[in-house]
Structure 1
Amino acid sequence: MRVLLVGDHPPPFGGVAIHVQQLHRFLRSREVEAKVLDIGKGGRPVPDVLPMRGPAHFALRLTGFLASGWTVHVHTSGNNPKAWLLAAAVGSPPGARAPRFITLHSGLLPDYLAAAPSRRAFARVALAGYSRIIAVSAAVRDALVSCGIPEEKLLVHPAFCASQVQAGAVPVRVEAARARRRPLLVMAHHPSPVYGRKLAFRALRLLTESHRGVGLALFGPGTDSEDFLRDARELGVAGPLEPLGELDHPAALGLIARSDVFLRPTTHDGDSISVREALALGVPCVASDVCERPEGTRLFRAGDATSLAATVREAVAAGPLRVASPDVGPVLLDMYEALSPRPAPVRPVPVTW
C-alpha cells in the first residue's frame, strides 16, 4: 500500500503541519511507502516531502498519484475558502484507483459553516468523493452532519500520534528561562487573538502576587512584535515574560517537558495537539473550556483571567501527572488497509505439453 498525505508540513510548526509530519513518520516506521504533498510555505528539503510550486504543479502531481493508485489523505482546517477549495480539488477528480480520506482539524469550522448556507452546500459537494471524513471533535462532526454529510462516512478521532511525541534538546535560552523561573509556565503563541495572549498576560499579573518567581515562556511567531511588547507593557508583565520566538518542534517539546504548567487560553479550539503533547509528556495542562478537552486537562472559564490564574495555582500545587494518550496512527493505517482495493488474484496459467 502507498499513502499520499496532502497538507502543510513544517516549517512553520502549526498543529496541522505537526500532525502531518508525525503521521508520515509513523507510516514510514510501519514500512508503508508514504509521501507528503506539502501545500505550505515549504522549508529545508525532507525525504519524501514534495514542495508545491503553484496550483498547476499541484494538480499535475496529484493527478499522477491518483492515477497510480495511491491512497490519498488530505489534512486541512476547514475554516476558510482555501481549505474547502483544497478539499474539492482532491475529492472531485474522477479516475482515482484507491480511496480518498480527509481530516478536518479546526475548532473554527462549525462557526464558518454556520455563517452561510452556500458554505454548507459547497462543503457537501467538496466532501462527496471521500470514503471517510475524520473530524477531530464531536463539534466538527456535528457541523458536518448539519451540511448533509452521511453519518456513516464520518469518524471522530483526535489528530494525535502519541508514539511520535519525543522531547528534544533545547537552546541555551530555554535552559536559562527554566533556571530563573519557579514555576515556569509555557504557552504556544500566535498573533491571532484566538490564542488568548492578553488573557494569559492578565492571569500572569495575578499570579505574580502569589508566586514571585513565576515566569511565562512563549514560543511561536510574533513574540518580538510591537503588539506583543505593547500588551506586555500595558498589562504590567514585561518582567516575568520569556519570549522565545519560533522553536523547531523537538525543541518546543523539550521546553514543554521542562515546564511546570502548559497553558492553552484559546477563545476557540479544535483538538489541540499541543495540549495532548503536554499531557503525554506528564506536564499539567490548563486550558479554556471552549471545547471538549482530553482527560487530565484542568479547565478554566474561557475569557476569565481570575479563573485561569486560580486553575494554574491548582495545577502547580498538584504537580506532574501522567495520562494515557491516544495514537491515531494505527487506527488510520487499519482504515487505509480495510478500504483499499485488494489486488486481483493471480490465476494459474494451464500448461499444455
Structure 2
Amino acid sequence: MGIGSVSQPNTSFGKDARSGGFHPVARWKKAMTPRALQEVESVIGETLLSLGYALGGAPVAESAPARFQRMRSLYEWYFGTKLVLKTKTPFGRWFASRELELASMRSESSTNALLSARAPVRVLQIGNYPPPMCGWAIQLKLVTEELRRRGHVCEVLKINEGRQIKSPEYVDVQSGPDYLIKIWLYSLRGYQLNVHVNGMSKKGYWLAMAAAVTGRFLNQPALVTFHGGLSQDFFPRHDRSLAHHAFKALFRLAGKVACDSEPIRQAIVQYGVPAENVQSIATFSPQYLQFAQVELPPAVEAFLARYPRVLLSYVSFRPEYRLDVLREGMRRYREQDPEAGFIWLGFPDKEVPAAEQFVANWPADERASLLLLGNLNHDQFLTLLTRCFVYLRTPACDGVAASVLESLALGIPVVASENGRRPAGVVTYDDPSGADMADKLRFVRERYSDVKSGLAFEMNDDNVGRMADWLAGISLAEASESTVAVQ
C-alpha cells in the first residue's frame, strides 16, 4: 500500500468508473484476500468501527502483527518529525520532498510500481570513487553519470582513500559516526542506499552491514553490489563459520543483490537468498574504453624508452596481490629476457612508503628494472596500457577484472593467475607459482604474434546502462522491451 499524489494517484477509481463497476464504499472488503483483510483490520479496525463501518473479516483476538506496529510507529514518527522540521526550523527543505510518503513505504507489488520505476529516483551509492582510480571506482563513476543523465538524482558517499577531502563530486566521510549519520539522513530523505562490498575486507563488510540495517529499519532495504570472484577470504563459505553467517545476514537484509557473473550469483543464492533477488550484471562495458591518449609523466616516458618490452601490473600492497610471487616470476623471467622492464601501478598514497620499503633492499639490477607508480587517472592508465608488452595480473580473488578486459579489448596480451573465470585469450599460470608465471611470460614472448591474433574481444552490452536500470527499479526484461520498442 502506498500514499498517492495528484500526479500519480494511488487509486483504481478511474479504471473502475470507465468499466461501469464503480462501487467505492467499503471496497477493501472485496479487494483484499481474507488474510490481508484480517491483518489490515487488526491495525485500523477500531478506527473503521468508530466511523460507522462494519468489519469485513472475522474478529481478530490477537493484536496487530509486530511488523505493522513498527510501520505505524515509523509513519507517526516520520511525519511528525517532518512536520516539525518543515514548520519550526530552517531545515525543512532538506527533509521535505515532492512525495508525501517516506520513499521506503512503497510496496513493490502496488499498482504504481511500474510508474514509480519510471519516475526519477534518488540513489546514494556507497563505495570507491576516484581518485584514486580502481575497477570499483570506474564503475561507480560511470553508473552515477548514467543515472544523472537519465534525470535521476544520484549522490556518492565516498569510502575509499581521500574520503575526508571535501569535493562537489561526492559526499565526504570524516569518521565512522559521520558515516552512520549520513546514511541515516539520506535514507530519511528518501534515497535508496546502494552499498558496494566484497568478500575480502572486514571494514568494508561492516560499512555494508550498517547500510543494510539502516535500510531495513526504515523499511527500504538497501541494494548491495557485490564485487570479486569465488576465491575471496570470506566468500563463499558454505559451512558453519562466522564468515558464512555474516554474509548470510548481509545478503538477506539487503533488498536485492547484484554481482558480476552467474557463478557468483549461484554462490549467493546458496546462502538462502531468493534467486529472484540476486541479479547478475557484468561490470565491464564499452564506456570503459572511452579515453583520450595523454602525455605520461616524464619518469614513465623515460622508463618506456629504456626497456623495449615493458610488462604492466596493477597492484596494491595487500596479501591477495602476492608481491613475493610477482617478484619471483619477474626475476625468473628476466633471466631469459634481461631487456624486460616492469611497472607496478596502483598503490594508493598511504601504501607507497611500504612498497618502496619492500623493494629498497633488492639487488641494484633488479631494482632498476622496476618502476613503482602510485595511481593514474583512467586516461593515463589506458594510454600506458596501450604502450606495454604484456599486462600481468596476480590476484586470484578478483573474478573477471575490468583491467583484464580492457587489455584484451585493446589488443594487449594478458598473463594472469588461474581462478577459473579468466576470459578467452588470457594465458593463465598456476597460482601461486612464480616459476609457472615466468614460463607463461616466456611462452607469450616466443609466440607473441599468435597470442595477439587470438585476442578477438567484442563488448556490445551496455552493462553501465543495465546497472542504472537495476538501481532505478527497472527489471532487465522490462528494460529489454523498452530498448526493442525504441529501436
TM-score (norm: length of structure 2): 0.62
Q: CA deviation at 1:285?
A: 1.3
Q: Does 1:39 align with 2:159?
A: yes
| Residue 6 of structure 1: how far off its partner (Å) | 0.8
1:129-144 correspondence runs (5 A):
129-138=253-262, 140-144=264-268
Correspondence for 2:458 among 301, 324, 330: 324
Partner of 2:287, secondary structure, is helix
* Paired position in structure 1 for 2:314: 188
Partner of 1:164: 288
CA drift of 1:332 comes to 1.2
Q: Is 1:15 equivalent to 2:127 in the alignment? A: no
**Map of 1:254 onto structure 2:** 383
CA deviation digits over 1:214-249, x for unaligned, max 9?
Answer: 11111132565222233x439x72232222333334
Report how many aligned residue pairs link the two structures.
Answer: 338
The structure carrying a bigger helix percent of its residues is: 2
Pair member with larger Rg: 2
**Contact 2:146 2:468 (C-alpha < 8 Å) held by counterparts:** no
TM-superposed CA distance for 1:97, in Å, is 7.5
Equivalent positions of 1:1-353 (< 5 A) are 1=120, 2-42=122-162, 45-93=166-214, 94=216, 100-107=222-229, 110-113=232-235, 114=237, 117-138=241-262, 140-165=264-289, 166=291, 168-169=293-294, 170-221=296-347, 222=351, 224-230=355-361, 232-233=362-363, 237-316=366-445, 317-318=448-449, 319=452, 321-325=455-459, 327-339=462-474
CA offsets per residue over residues 104-156 of structure 1, 9 Å max, x none? 11347754153753332232222334332122345543443332222221223
How much does 1:31 deviate?
Answer: 4.4
Q: CA RMSD in A?
A: 2.9
CA distance in 1, matches of 2:324, 2:305: 25
User: What is the CA–CA distance in structure 2 between the aligned matches of 1:307 and 1:299, rounded to whole Å?
Assistant: 9
1:241–1:151: structure 2 CA closer, same or farther, 3 Å change rule?
Answer: same
Aligned to 2:18: none
Distance 1:110 1:152 in 2: 24
**In 1: Cα distance, 2:423 partner to 2:166 partner:** 34
Report percent identity of matched pairs: 26
Q: Following TM superposition, by how much is the alpha carbon of 1:264 offset from its aligned partner in structure 2, in angstroms? A: 0.4
Unmatched runs of 5 consecutive residues or more in structure 2:
1-119, 476-487
Structure 1 residue aligned with 2:49 = none
Q: Is the 8 A contact 1:16 1:77 kept in 2?
A: no
Structure 1 gap ranges (5+) = 341-353
**Residue by residue, what CA displacement relative to the aligned partner does 1:140-174 show, whole Å, maximum 9, x if unpaired?**
43443332222221223333343133255221222
One-letter amino acid matched to 1:286: V
SS across alignment from 1:215: strand
Q: Which residue of 2 aligns with 1:350?
A: none
SS in 2 for 1:133: strand
CA distance in 1: counterparts of 2:284 and 2:142, whole angstroms: 8
Q: Which moved more, 1:314-323 or 1:175-184?
A: 314-323
Aligned letter for 1:147? Y
Native 8 Å contact 1:145 1:151 kept in 2: yes
Classify the secondary structure of the residue corresponding to 1:41. Answer: coil
Shift of 1:261: 0.8
Contact persistence 2:399–2:419 (CA under 8 A): no
In terms of fraction of residues, the more strand-rich structure is: 1
Please report how far the alpha carbon of residue 207 of structure 1 lies from its aligned counterpart in structure 2 after TM superposition: 2.7
Structure 2 CA distance for partners of 1:245 and 1:41, relative to 1, 3 Å: closer
CA distance in 2, matches of 1:263, 1:126: 33
TM-score by length of 1: 0.83
Task: Give, as a single letter, the amino acid of the residue that structure 2 aligns with 1:176.
Answer: A
Query: Could you say which residue in structure 2 is the equivalent of 1:348?
Result: none
Distance across 1 between alignment mates of 2:208 and 2:132: 21
Contact 2:143 2:468 in 1 (8 A): no
Q: Residue type of the partner of 1:22?
A: L
| 2:260 aligned partner, one-letter code | V
